[in-house]
Structure 1
Amino acid sequence: MAESLTSHEPATGELLWTGAAGDPDAEVMAARAAWAGWAARPFTVRVETLRRFANLARAQLEPFADLIARETGKPLWEARTEVEAVINKVDISVSAYAERTAQRRLEGALGTRVAVRHKPHGVLAVLGPYNFPAHLPNGHIVPALIAGNAVVFKPSEKTPAVGEFLVRLYHEAGVPEGVVRCVQGGVETGKALAAHPGLDGLLFTGSARAGLALHRQFAETPHKILALEMGGNNPLVVWDAKDLHAAAAMAVQSAYLSAGQRCTAARRLIVRDGAHQELIETITRLVDRLIVGHPHANPAPFMGPVIDNMAADQLQEAFLELMGRGGRAIRRLDRKTDERPFLTPSLIDVTEVERRPDVEMFGPVLQIVRVADFDGAIAEANATRYGLSASLIGGAPELYDRFWAGVRAGVINWNSPTNGAPSKAPFGGIGLSGNHRPSAYYAADYCAYPVTSSEADSARATIGVGLADPTAPANIEG
């Protein structure tokens, strides 16, 4: 009997969705049966099908955003921006495919031509996260479909309703049902899907721990593509900032958007010791004004709850551990109500904490680290196994050049928040943040593989060296 699944609204606890765990084997087999027909369709047909999907998403923007807001708890205004990202992904992916996987013709030797073209891998699994349950898996699925792959998508078990809605839009747009399959389920379903021999690759967005497990699992299958997009322990350095209010606003945006549930969220605020007080006071005043509330509340909240009570409990335990190890709370991580996972944005000075945990605290927690000089700031920024996002606020161009050259991350910003990476550029990290398969504009790179061909209209060949004279008597020894 199939496992029963439910989804509840984080903000209210109300039941939103019920269903049953799917069968990864059946879904992969359905995708394998449909893949060749989809890959054989002209590129223009695949593109127009995905553009119909974008138009359908645009027509369904409000109910789509409402569903995202209810299932994740994020404010409705933010859910709308997620749907807009889903819509925009199609045209961006078409441009990226044309640029990153363009066909090329070169002149070869002896009148031959050299052609470079790309082929789809086949059937790809996509494992999606709960923080952006439509935008992030869509960022894998759209370029995969454009390239000619079939996809088996497993949404996060915490956001199954959004995943189901997204797949229904693909089918309504004309993507064959076998080409995009949705398999619901928890961790065991994800493991079974990832291990399926019928897959040609897996595209993952989620935690570093799960990504490392997938990396080990795929170690003996180099013929399968594996793209890992994981988290970050991201540094935000504020140094010689002329406008403290702007710096404070960027720090708040970096740390607390989406209730801190972004892989690019700032986890560590690095400041010059002794010159930091006014900045921290400015940030604190802004933090105290942030509205934490129901996604549909009026006035609109800045942030909603974290995804569920378990996540809230774990965050509070981690915050208390930091305090127990010498951290000084400037704003505590408080729970608005024990029944629901609404957390207040927190600030904690961890400069005196020895052996600070190098973990991704996936919530509204910003840790302050004071350093003596800019070399110390760069060293502290790099004091992590992760390497996703980093940002410098303030300083002259020469200081940013030092920061850019010295910091290890896949996204490095100046006078800009750590989050909100542009979709028209590559997005990915190093270390525990990824495996050098950047997504966004570069997703085309892992959705198709290049094929090099030497081609001629007729066969012409000679062997000019190493042949005996046919008129000479045979030389037989022995």
Structure 2
Amino acid sequence: MSHIQSIDPATGAVVWEGAAAGRAEVDAALRRARRAFPGWAALAVEDRVAAVQRFKAVLEARKEQIAAIISRETGKPRWEGLAELGSMIGKVGISITAQAERAGERRSDMPFGAAVLRHRPHGVMAVLGPFNFPGHLPNGHIVPALLAGNTVVFKPSEMTPATGAAMAEAWAEAGLPEGVFQCIQGARETGEALVSGAIDGLLFTGSAGAGAHFRHLFADRPDVILALELGGNNPLVAWDGDVEEAAAIVVQSAFVTTGQRCSCARRLIVPDTAFGNDLVEAVAHLSGRLLIGAWDETPEPYIGPLISSGAAAKARAQFEVLVERGARVVEPFGSVEDRSAAFVRPAMLDVTGVSVPDEEIFAPVLQVCRVADFDAAMAAANDTRFGLSAGLVSADDGLWQRFVLESRAGVVNRNRPTTGAAGSMPFGGLGESGNHRPSAYYAADYCAYPMASFEASDASGNMGALDGKLR
């Protein structure tokens, strides 16, 4: 039996290690989930709500402990680990509201009786978690799925198994019936066994490449609901306003979480004017002042390391490809002295007039493109196969109305970072950024299917429809 382990990217210390589930273990977990499904689905929704509220109480009681696990395993600063845990806690109440609003029961009187809308769970849901938000993002699938009456088999990222294990412990303490929620650990082979097994849904957050693989894999399995939340090559158009405030928005958009958010700005589009020049200089200056450090250091850093030294090497190679194509280096992709190889400094490139790949660099790398006018800015913003997030920095209401009308993205922000999102709103994108099943508040939509009924208490009155039409 193979083993996996997660590594603190700041120190190289082992955070968690354990056995990886093989196909036999995965299939056994799926059978347990299948057996548990009828009983869980038959419970009154109030009972399922009570269960997820008990889970919330466990998270609140263990907030510091679980946040520290998230931070240590991902490299996120303490403040960001606590923010992620806070989002997990907040997700419970939001999901309960969304379940009632978007997937509850509706009844309307008809002359013969009633028309009733119900929502029914799909069955056994597989959830694959990412490493960048190893608690919050899978939690955003798991809580709505359980509320709807599904059972869940969850495989965390092999890079963040400790967070997955902590979540499993919290669900166990919440007192779910056996088989309703299970966590299996492992790498690619475990994931392959899970998605090829007897599942009714796959809820996935991760890379566009993996999402494309799943779209092809499930093309001939229409019985499986597929919800994909993927990456983006996101544009931020910064057009006018206070240069320092605009620079702060750019830095938070591009470099928060060391650039490891799917909604991070990857492309900064500015006018080829004095404002554009000043802004690029201001962003470079501000990014150089950001505190970089390990998750538990004082003073608190703004960014920590990438998830691994391998991730840093991949991002560096992507950066060098852009340079080879003719991009001008504004801020180099530098390492951090006396730190592990997973630590990198925010980098900037001017790619104006350069043909560059339409790819997501999952690291603090920002590409600057200068344009002549707003028409060109909109064309550049939409020149991508992705469509997750986009942003405009401008005080011009007319430009904002154009931006909203013409943007091809699922999350579009004004004068705020592109990473700004709310659990009370949908979250998802177009093109290679998803498959038109947004998560967050709209997760209730893909966790249950609608069932429409015409109902009467008895069979009287049906013969009347045949009067005069019988021989």
* Alpha-carbon distance between aligned partners in 2 of 1:24 and 1:263, rounded to the nearest angstrom: 29
**1:12/1:340 contact within 8 Å kept:** no
**1:152/1:183 contact within 8 Å kept:** yes
Which amino acid letter does the alignment assign opposite residue 278 of structure 1? D
In structure 2, the residue matched to 1:6 is 5
* Alpha-carbon distance between aligned partners in 1 of 2:192 and 2:342, rounded to the nearest angstrom: 28
* Alpha-carbon distance between aligned partners in 2 of 1:247 and 1:187, rounded to the nearest angstrom: 41
Which amino acid letter does the alignment assign opposite residue 106 of structure 1? S
Q: CA deviation at 1:466?
A: 4.1
Choose the corresponding residue for 1:25, options 27, 31, 56. 27
For structure 2, list consecutive stretches of 5 or more residues without a partner in the other structure.
none
Q: CA deviation at 1:274?
A: 2.5
Q: CA deviation at 1:332?
A: 0.6
Q: Helix, strand or coil for the counterpart of 1:303?
A: coil
2:89 is aligned with 1:90: no
Q: Helix, strand or coil for the counterpart of 1:341?
A: coil
Q: Deviations over 1:207-258 (max 9, x none)?
A: 0010011111111111211000000000000012x21111100100000000
Map of 1:83-232 to 2, 5 A cutoff? 83-108=85-110, 110-196=111-197, 198-232=198-232
* Alpha-carbon distance between aligned partners in 1 of 2:181 and 2:457, rounded to the nearest angstrom: 39
Q: Deviations over 1:278-335 (max 9, x none)?
A: 1111112211110111111111100000000111000001111111111111111111
2:376 is aligned with 1:376: yes
In structure 2, the residue matched to 1:45 is 47
* Alpha-carbon distance between aligned partners in 1 of 2:211 and 2:30, rounded to the nearest angstrom: 21
- Name whichever of 219-228 and 338-347 sits farther off: 338-347
Q: CA deviation at 1:366?
A: 0.6
2:251 is aligned with 1:252: yes
Which amino acid letter does the alignment assign opposite residue 149 of structure 1? N
Q: CA deviation at 1:176?
A: 2.2
* Alpha-carbon distance between aligned partners in 2 of 1:431 and 1:259, rounded to the nearest angstrom: 25
Q: What TM-score, normalized to structure 2?
A: 0.97
* Alpha-carbon distance between aligned partners in 1 of 2:453 and 2:230, rounded to the nearest angstrom: 35
Which amino acid letter does the alignment assign opposite residue 249 of structure 1? A
In structure 2, the residue matched to 1:473 is none
**1:130/1:156 contact within 8 Å kept:** yes
Q: What TM-score, normalized to structure 1?
A: 0.95
Q: Helix, strand or coil for the counterpart of 1:269?
A: strand
Q: Deviations over 1:191-217 (max 9, x none)?
A: 121111x21111000000100111111
**2:3/2:17 contact within 8 Å kept:** yes
Q: CA deviation at 1:187?
A: 1.1
Q: Helix, strand or coil for the counterpart of 1:161?
A: helix
Q: Deviations over 1:15-74 (max 9, x none)?
A: 111111112211111111111111122111111111111111011111111101110001
* Alpha-carbon distance between aligned partners in 1 of 2:206 and 2:130, rounded to the nearest angstrom: 6
* Alpha-carbon distance between aligned partners in 1 of 2:385 and 2:455, rounded to the nearest angstrom: 47
**2:11/2:340 contact within 8 Å kept:** no
* Alpha-carbon distance between aligned partners in 2 of 1:157 and 1:326, rounded to the nearest angstrom: 36
* Alpha-carbon distance between aligned partners in 1 of 2:468 and 2:250, rounded to the nearest angstrom: 71
Q: Deviations over 1:47-105 (max 9, x none)?
A: 11111111110111111111011100010110000000011100000001111113111
RMSD: 1.1
Which amino acid letter does the alignment assign opposite residue 26 of structure 2? P
Q: CA deviation at 1:140?
A: 0.2
* Alpha-carbon distance between aligned partners in 2 of 1:390 and 1:295, rounded to the nearest angstrom: 29
**2:231/2:360 contact within 8 Å kept:** yes
Q: CA deviation at 1:467?
A: 2.1
Q: Helix, strand or coil for the counterpart of 2:28?
A: helix
Q: CA deviation at 1:353?
A: 1.6
Which amino acid letter does the alignment assign opposite residue 104 of structure 1? R
Hey, which bits of structure 1, 4+ residues long, moved more than 4 A? Answer: none
* Alpha-carbon distance between aligned partners in 1 of 2:427 and 2:272, rounded to the nearest angstrom: 32
Q: Deviations over 1:132-163 (max 9, x none)?
A: 00000000000001111100000000001100
**1:351/1:369 contact within 8 Å kept:** yes
**2:10/2:340 contact within 8 Å kept:** no
* Alpha-carbon distance between aligned partners in 2 of 1:27 and 1:187, rounded to the nearest angstrom: 17
2:299 is aligned with 1:296: no
In structure 2, the residue matched to 1:270 is 269
* Alpha-carbon distance between aligned partners in 1 of 2:76 and 2:245, rounded to the nearest angstrom: 24
Q: CA deviation at 1:339?
A: 4.2
* Alpha-carbon distance between aligned partners in 1 of 2:395 and 2:272, rounded to the nearest angstrom: 16
* Alpha-carbon distance between aligned partners in 2 of 1:374 and 1:159, rounded to the nearest angstrom: 42
* Alpha-carbon distance between aligned partners in 2 of 1:91 and 1:62, rounded to the nearest angstrom: 20
Which amino acid letter does the alignment assign opposite residue 294 of structure 1? A
Which amino acid letter does the alignment assign opposite residue 81 of structure 1? A
In structure 2, the residue matched to 1:476 is none
* Alpha-carbon distance between aligned partners in 1 of 2:33 and 2:124, rounded to the nearest angstrom: 7
In structure 2, the residue matched to 1:475 is none
**2:392/2:400 contact within 8 Å kept:** yes
Choose the corresponding residue for 2:66, options 64, 67, 91. 64
* Alpha-carbon distance between aligned partners in 2 of 1:14 and 1:420, rounded to the nearest angstrom: 32
Q: Helix, strand or coil for the counterpart of 1:293?
A: coil
2:373 is aligned with 1:399: no
- Name whichever of 293-302 and 174-183 sits farther off: 174-183
* Alpha-carbon distance between aligned partners in 2 of 1:127 and 1:32, rounded to the nearest angstrom: 18
* Alpha-carbon distance between aligned partners in 2 of 1:190 and 1:429, rounded to the nearest angstrom: 24
Q: Helix, strand or coil for the counterpart of 1:5?
A: strand
In structure 2, the residue matched to 1:351 is 352
* Alpha-carbon distance between aligned partners in 2 of 1:32 and 1:304, rounded to the nearest angstrom: 41
Which amino acid letter does the alignment assign opposite residue 145 of structure 2? A
Percent identical among aligned pairs is 51
- Max radius of gyration: which structure? 1
Q: Helix, strand or coil for the counterpart of 1:68?
A: helix
Q: CA deviation at 1:465?
A: 5.1
In structure 2, the residue matched to 1:472 is none
* Alpha-carbon distance between aligned partners in 1 of 2:294 and 2:190, rounded to the nearest angstrom: 31
